[in-house]
Amino acid sequence: MSKIFKLSEDELEDLIPPGGGCIATDLITVDGEPVRYMFREDPHNETDSGWRFFSGTETDSYMEHPENFDVHDLNTLANYDRAIIPYLDMPVGTELERLEGTDTFFTVDEP
């Protein structure tokens, strides 16, 4: 079954310079939920930015199914949620959570 994304190709704008690929859940790209949690890990290859994006509403069961994720261009995710743009230059190891009701993200401190 093919996915129907919330934004069509012709709705995407060039918002950021090329930044590589990223992984996002369908709750963002298909259902249109905002990014509420994002982190950057070591890239898996030279075209991977290392960024991973989540709506924050994914259940454990949802996360167990790889079909609920896709690789996207980082610019594509910027089109889904422009609030992520100021944070995309942050280094590997960055973990951010959205301050509810705002476009501001804060660093998640490890316990």
Query: Mind listing the pLDDT tens digit for each residue in 66-96?
Result: 999 999 999 999 999 999 999 999 999 999 9
Q: Is residue 1 part of a domain?
A: no
Of the candidates 65, 104, 81, 106, which has an alpha carbon nearest to the alpha carbon of residue 28?
A: 81
Q: Is residue 36 part of a domain?
A: yes
User: Long-range contacts of range 66-72, CB-CB < 8 Å, 24 or more positions apart?
Assistant: 68/25, 68/26, 68/27, 69/23, 69/24, 69/25, 69/26, 70/3, 70/23, 70/24, 70/26, 70/29, 71/21, 71/22, 71/23, 72/21, 72/22, 72/23, 72/24, 72/29
Q: Is residue 5 part of a domain?
A: no
Q: Is residue 4 part of a domain?
A: no
Q: Is residue 97 part of a domain?
A: yes
pLDDT band at 110 (very low <50, low <70, confident <90, very high): low
Mean pLDDT along residues 2-26: 96
Q: Is residue 11 part of a domain?
A: no
Q: Is residue 56 part of a domain?
A: yes
Q: Is residue 103 part of a domain?
A: yes
Domain count, the chain: 1
Give the pLDDT confidence of 20-68 residue by residue, as tens digits. Answer: 999 999 999 999 999 999 999 999 999 999 999 999 999 999 999 999 9
Radius of gyration of the chain (CA): 13
Q: Is the pLDDT of residue 6 over 90?
A: yes
Boundaries of domain holding 74: 24-107
